[in-house]
């Protein structure tokens, strides 16, 4: 086995060692993967691998071993490369065999040239994916990872290069509040991490988080990538960060658009990769007629400057079930059941639920019933699909929200503090008519242009309908409303490929805040009944957040993520009891409950049980679900009597 090489700083040296030992025998590739897999099993080894999400690109050594947590935004066409090639020394005629895997540019010495006619040359195929940081990732999730990155980044830092890609600017709750969970020392690290740089005469200033100062204005819609002439194609407005071209060599059929991965691989930022973006493009096309087969726009998109879009050659990849850094990566495998952290947390679930219920009750202005339903919504997930019907979705319409108030904005801030990824869609006539919700295929550039609804699983989407005014929806607006309705009802988004639509299933938690009943479909409507109206909503919500210890907030975050992955079942005995109960209710009042109502009761009972850490339905939880539904329906009926036909 190769030794004496730094596997973090010089991974290609490790690969070269295995290749030299095994030659063209394909076993060397498996040995490389096993080597790095074993290295990452060592104590805290993954934490020492510099992350492209957190460490600015100019601090990373070219051809070093890095990791990248990302969502697959697009899949490009497969590309061919020289898996093995031979070089010839022009003076001595000595021949040397090289590997082309994990490289973009052939390794060739000053007196060497590649022998393209060598019988030992092999041509292989690899798949390229365009990947972006996880859309809508919350500040607290990012900062947990960022803290480790700045502690460990010294292992990977080198002198700044002339090109610079800003590290991801994370979304914050307020300019002066997004660091409220960090120690002062960490704030100083963030301040010291600011750098300036430029490409093509354009200058910018970056920092390891993104300010969302435009979040409450329409200006955020045009804030994408103002610092760069290259559109990084992020799904959400205002997102910034290191988009990457990811080269995959094995099992690329497992990589699907919108999946989230933790990738480990070799960073490639060779300036030669940017040649198609320079003025030399025309000349290079004359030298290589094959380049003329692609349009200039396609070349620009598929071969962007490496200083803006670095390449990662994947050695190891792990599909992530979630992006909560407070939990183990795998939660539905056998090893997670024996995890000490998980078992310890489950033993103290009851007080955590009680504290969370109290916290959300205060956030909902004293409405404990609405807080109960919000907990069920936040832990809901599509657990299976029966034909086209997604089971487990639980879209909640929180009606009764005060109009012309900052309540919905601050409620979203509360949710941001609890979930790993979220987005607030301000449902105004202007946004509905002008925003692009549906991803579509650009055949000129041969890429998938992202839209707002290109989101990874378990993202919390908060639709603020209280901002909706009277106005006219044009054709794109109607199309966007239809897209939202399909997302809510069927948990799918139909991507536009011009000549046809392609269905992409999703698993998005949708919460709709509205004054009256929402224009959009919902699985459950709960009308807010505030028990108090704070004279200053911002001050009230800020004091609520500051009163919660960071350790308690972390427990809430673990609770809401962990419960999504618990197994659940209903015994034959309880199934029979539920059936008998349904028949009895129908006997007493045939109009009181339908098959759809029974389905919703079962969904509520499921998440009510899981919220208490119970993986089977008990008689007690079934009765509690019926009680909650009775209270909710009574409240809606009372509101209808007060406001006529509003509900």
CB 176 within 8 A of CB 215: no
Work out the average pLDDT over 592-611. Answer: 94
Helix (H) or strand (E) holding 121: none
According to CATH, what is the number of the domain 336-565?
A: 3.40.50.300
**For position 143, what pLDDT does the model report?**
79
% of the chain surpassing 70 pLDDT: 81
Q: How many CB atoms lie within 10 A of CB 227?
A: 16
CB 146 within 8 A of CB 179: no
Over 60: is that where the pLDDT of 357 sits?
Answer: yes
Work out the average pLDDT over 246-253. Answer: 95
Q: Which of 344-348, 428-432, 493-497, 539-543 has the lowest mean pLDDT?
A: 344-348
Over 90: is that where the pLDDT of 188 sits?
Answer: no
Q: Is 271 left (phi over 0), alpha (psi -120 to 50) or beta?
A: alpha
Over 80: is that where the pLDDT of 509 sits?
Answer: yes
**For position 351, what pLDDT does the model report?**
96
**For position 52, what pLDDT does the model report?**
94
3-state secondary structure of 452: coil
Q: Which of 227, 228, 265, 271 is nearest to 247 (CA)?
A: 265
Residue 572, φ and ψ in degrees, nearest 5: -60, -35
Q: How far is residue 100's CA from residue 81's CA, in Å, rounded to a whole number?
A: 7
User: Could you tell me which residue, 432 or 147, shows the higher pLDDT?
Assistant: 432
Q: How far is residue 440's CA from residue 233's CA, in Å, rounded to a whole number?
A: 12
Give, as one character, the DSSP assignment of residue 421. Answer: B
Q: Is 491 left (phi over 0), alpha (psi -120 to 50) or beta?
A: left
Work out the average pLDDT over 589-600. Answer: 86
Pairing, β 244-248 against β 311-319: parallel
Helix (H) or strand (E) holding 158: none
**Tally of helices (H runs) and strands (E runs) in the chain:** 19, 21
Over 70: is that where the pLDDT of 225 sits?
Answer: no
Q: How far is residue 197's CA from residue 626's CA, in Å, rounded to a whole number?
A: 60
Confidence of residue 589 (pLDDT cuts 50, 70, 90): confident
Helices (H), 213-303: 281-287, 296-302
**For position 362, what pLDDT does the model report?**
98
Over 60: is that where the pLDDT of 154 sits?
Answer: no
- Planar angle of CA 635, 597, 484, nearest 5 degrees: 85
CB 525 within 8 A of CB 399: yes
Work out the average pLDDT over 230-247. Answer: 91
Q: How far is residue 399's CA from residue 525's CA, in Å, rounded to a whole number?
A: 7
**For position 366, what pLDDT does the model report?**
97
3-state secondary structure of 583: helix
Residue tagged 């973090």 (tokens): 8
Over 60: is that where the pLDDT of 163 sits?
Answer: no
Q: How far is residue 128's CA from residue 78's CA, in Å, rounded to a whole number?
A: 6
Radius of gyration of the chain, Cα coordinates, nearest whole angstrom: 27
**For position 22, what pLDDT does the model report?**
83
| 143-168 b/e (C-beta count within 10 Å ≥ 16 → b) | bbbbbbbbebbeebeeeebebbbbbb
Domain range list for the chain:
11-150+238-277+292-319, 336-565
**For position 520, what pLDDT does the model report?**
98
3-state secondary structure of 146: helix
Q: Which of 352, 366, 372, 459 is nearest to 416 (CA)?
A: 459
Q: Where are the beta strands (DSSP E) in 62-176?
A: 65-75, 79-89, 95-99, 112-114, 122-132
**For position 241, what pLDDT does the model report?**
82
Over 50: is that where the pLDDT of 178 sits?
Answer: no
% of the chain surpassing 90 pLDDT: 66
Q: Which of 79, 68, 61 is nearest to 13 (CA)?
A: 61
Q: How far is residue 644's CA from residue 621's CA, in Å, rounded to a whole number?
A: 34
CB 49 within 8 A of CB 8: yes
Let me know how long the chain is.
647
Confidence of residue 271 (pLDDT cuts 50, 70, 90): confident
Q: How far is residue 226's CA from residue 166's CA, in Å, rounded to a whole number?
A: 13
Span 433-482, pLDDT tens digits: 999 999 999 999 999 999 999 999 999 999 999 999 999 999 999 999 99
3-state secondary structure of 60: coil
Q: Which of 37-51, 83-97, 139-153 has the lowest mean pLDDT?
A: 139-153
- Mean of the per-residue pLDDT values for the chain? 84
**For position 331, what pLDDT does the model report?**
74
Q: How far is residue 631's CA from residue 369's CA, in Å, rounded to a whole number?
A: 8
Q: Which of 183-187, 228-232, 403-407, 606-610 has the lowest mean pLDDT?
A: 183-187
Confidence of residue 146 (pLDDT cuts 50, 70, 90): low
Q: How far is residue 94's CA from residue 80's CA, in Å, rounded to a whole number?
A: 27
Work out the average pLDDT over 199-223. Answer: 32
Q: Is 525 left (phi over 0), alpha (psi -120 to 50) or beta?
A: beta
Work out the average pLDDT over 51-76. Answer: 95
**For position 222, what pLDDT does the model report?**
37
Work out the average pLDDT over 369-378. Answer: 98
Over 80: is that where the pLDDT of 228 sits?
Answer: no
Report, in this order, helix, strand and coil percent for the chain, each rounded to 5: 40, 20, 40
Which residues face 512 on adjacent strands?
397, 463
Q: How far is residue 534's CA from residue 552's CA, in Å, rounded to a whole number?
A: 24
Adjacency order of strands within the sheet including 524-527:
422-426, 460-464, 509-513, 396-399, 524-527
User: Could you tell me which residue, 369 or 150, shows the higher pLDDT?
Assistant: 369
Q: How many CB atoms lie within 10 A of CB 132?
A: 23
Over 50: is that where the pLDDT of 426 sits?
Answer: yes
DSSP secondary structure, 493-518, as one string: EEEE-SSSEEEEE---EEEEE-SSS-
CB 342 within 8 A of CB 328: yes
Confidence of residue 100 (pLDDT cuts 50, 70, 90): very high
Q: How many CB atoms lie within 10 A of CB 426?
A: 24
Contacts (Cβ under 8 Å, ≥6 apart) of 22 = 28, 31
Span 559-576, pLDDT tens digits: 999 999 999 999 999 999
DSSP secondary structure, 342-359, as one string: HHHHHHTHHHHHHHHHHH
Residue tagged 């021949």 (tokens): 95
| 507-524 b/e (C-beta count within 10 Å ≥ 16 → b) | bbbbbbbbbbbbebebbb
């Amino acid at each position: 086995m190769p030794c004496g090489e730094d596997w973090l700083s010089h991974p290609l040296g490790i690969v070269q060692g295995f290749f030299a030992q095994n030659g063209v025998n394909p076993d060397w590739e498996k040995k490389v993967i096993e080597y790095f897999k074993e290295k990452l099993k060592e104590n805290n080894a993954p934490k020492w691998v510099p992350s492209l999400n957190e460490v600015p690109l100019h601090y990373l050594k070219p051809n070093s071993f890095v990791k990248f947590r990302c969502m697959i935004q697009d899949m490009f066409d497969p590309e061919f490369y020289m898996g093995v090639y031979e070089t010839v020394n022009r003076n001595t005629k000595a021949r040397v065999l090289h590997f082309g895997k994990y490289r973009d540019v052939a390794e060739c010495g000053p007196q060497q040239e590649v022998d393209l006619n060598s019988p030992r040359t092999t041509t292989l195929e690899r798949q390229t994916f365009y990947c972006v940081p996880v859309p809508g990732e919350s500040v607290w999730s990012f900062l947990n990872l960022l803290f480790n990155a700045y502690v460990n980044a010294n292992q990977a830092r080198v002198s700044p290069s002339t090109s610079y890609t800003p590290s991801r600017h994370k979304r914050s709750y307020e300019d002066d509040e997004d660091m409220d969970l960090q120690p002062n020392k960490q704030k100083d690290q963030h301040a010291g991490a600011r750098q300036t740089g430029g490409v093509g005469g354009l200058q910018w200033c970056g920092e390891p988080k993104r300010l969302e100062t435009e979040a409450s204005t329409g200006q955020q819609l045009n804030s994408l990538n103002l610092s760069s002439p290259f559109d990084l194609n992020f799904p959400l407005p205002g997102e910034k960060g290191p988009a990457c071209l990811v080269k995959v060599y094995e099992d690329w059929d497992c990589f699907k658009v919108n999946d989230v991965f933790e990738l480990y691989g070799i960073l490639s930022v060779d300036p030669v990769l940017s040649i198609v973006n320079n003025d030399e493009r025309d000349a290079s096309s004359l030298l290589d007629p094959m380049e003329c087969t692609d349009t200039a726009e396609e070349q620009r998109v598929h071969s962007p400057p490496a200083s803006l879009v670095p390449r990662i050659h994947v050695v190891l990849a792990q599909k992530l079930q979630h992006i909560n850094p407070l939990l183990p990566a795998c939660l539905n495998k056998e090893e997670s059941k024996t995890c000490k952290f998980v078992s310890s947390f489950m033993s103290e679930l009851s007080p955590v639920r009680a504290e969370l219920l109290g916290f959300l009750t205060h956030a909902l202005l004293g409405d404990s019933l609405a807080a109960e339903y919000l907990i069920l919504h936040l832990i809901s997930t599509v657990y299976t699909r029966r034909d086209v019907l997604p089971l487990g979705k639980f879209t909640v319409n929180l009606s009764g929200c005060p109009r012309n108030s900052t309540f919905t904005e601050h409620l979203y801030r509360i949710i941001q503090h609890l979930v790993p990824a979220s987005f607030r869609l301000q449902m105004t006539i202007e946004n509905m008519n002008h925003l692009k919700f549906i991803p579509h295929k650009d055949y000129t550039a041969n890429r998938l242009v992202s839209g707002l609804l290109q989101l990874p699983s378990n993202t919390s989407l908060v639709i603020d309908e209280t901002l909706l005014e009277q106005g006219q929806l044009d054709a794109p607006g109607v199309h966007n409303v239809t897209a939202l309705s399909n997302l809510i009802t069927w948990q799918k988004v139909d991507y536009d490929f011009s000549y046809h639509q392609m269905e992409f299933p999703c698993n998005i938690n949708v919460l709709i805040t509205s004054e009256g009943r929402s224009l959009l479909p919902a699985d459950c409507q709960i009308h807010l009944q505030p028990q108090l109206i704070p004279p200053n909503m911002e001050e009230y919500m800020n004091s609520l957040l500051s009163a919660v210890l960071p350790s308690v907030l972390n427990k809430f975050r673990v609770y809401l993520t962990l419960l999504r992955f618990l197994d659940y079942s209903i015994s034959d005995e309880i199934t029979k009891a539920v059936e008998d109960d349904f028949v009895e209710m129908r006997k007493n009042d045939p109009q009181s409950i339908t098959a759809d109502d029974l389905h919703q009761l079962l969904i509520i009972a499921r998440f009510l049980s899981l919220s208490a850490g119970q993986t089977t339905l008990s008689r007690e939880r079934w009765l509690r679900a019926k009680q909650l539904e009775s209270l909710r329906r009574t409240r809606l009926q009372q509101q209808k009597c007060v406001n006529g036909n509003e509900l």
